Amino acid sequence: MTQEQLRIDLPRRSALGRDSFFVTPANDIALALVEAPPRWPAHRLLLVGPAGSGKTHLAHVWAGQAKAKVLWANDLVHQDIPALAKCPLCIESVDAISGRTDAEEALFHLMNLMGVETRPLLMTARTSPTAWGLGLADLRSRIEATTLARLDLPDDVLLSAVLSKQFADRQIVPADSVIPYLVTHMPRSFAAAGWLVDRIDTLALGTRGGATRDKAITALSDMDKAGLFQEA
């Protein structure tokens, strides 16, 4: 059996509950807004943040509390829009539909119907609406008028918590020095945290030492060689 096959066979569980969402000044305002749907103007909220910033986690926290359905924006064209509008809803990656006329029209129709039904709508995106380039002017104005909650880049406390969670999701217990070392030397990015934990997981596979500081150093070196410090 190859190393890659061994890695695929290892169980991995991603915890998306409220108890595993770590609160720091980098995300406390966004969390407060997400948890207060009665304060959303027009019953809509747009959650914006970079890849790996916790958007999906926070969306699932809200969806669990609101008993809402979670969908990807690109899948709206295959849905019964009037039926969707009758319950709370979370639409992920709304910025991904830019330039897709059918998807933009589906979202615009959905937003109109949910406004009539007074149902809460949470949307997520990586960037602010002004950067999306939506083709449908009416949808663009609705989105840009939606209250925005922003998830910022992580501080040391949040970055440490994200690394700890990602190791735990992979059932890995790193050496005590690993997370402090990574936080000190890695790019300040949630995407970088995910890449490094995944790389350390691969490096540690089948070794006696497990996730050690030396493997963290190697993972950082691999990230640098791959040119990912600038991209993370």
The pLDDT of residue 8 is 34
The pLDDT of residue 232 is 52
The pLDDT of residue 202 is 94
What pTM does this model have?
0.76
Rg of the chain (C-alpha set): 20
The pLDDT of residue 3 is 36
The pLDDT of residue 6 is 34
The ranges of the chain annotated as CATH 3.40.50.300 are: 27-150
Q: What angle (nearest 5°) sits at the alpha carbon of residue 43, between those of residues 40 and 49?
A: 60
Beta-strand relationship, 89-92 and 121-125: parallel
Q: What is the CATH number of domain 27-150?
A: 3.40.50.300
The ranges of the chain annotated as CATH 1.10.8 are: 155-225
In a structure prediction context, what are the per-residue pLDDT tens digits for the chain, which is 232 residues long? 333 333 333 334 444 555 557 777 778 888 899 989 988 999 999 999 987 677 888 899 899 999 999 999 999 999 999 999 999 999 999 999 999 999 999 999 999 999 999 999 999 999 999 999 999 999 999 999 999 999 887 889 889 988 998 999 899 999 999 999 999 999 988 889 999 999 999 999 888 889 999 999 999 999 999 988 865 5
Which residue type, as a one-letter code, is found at position 47?
L
The CATH number corresponding to 155-225 among 1.10.8, 3.30.70, 1.10.3470, 2.50.20 equals 1.10.8
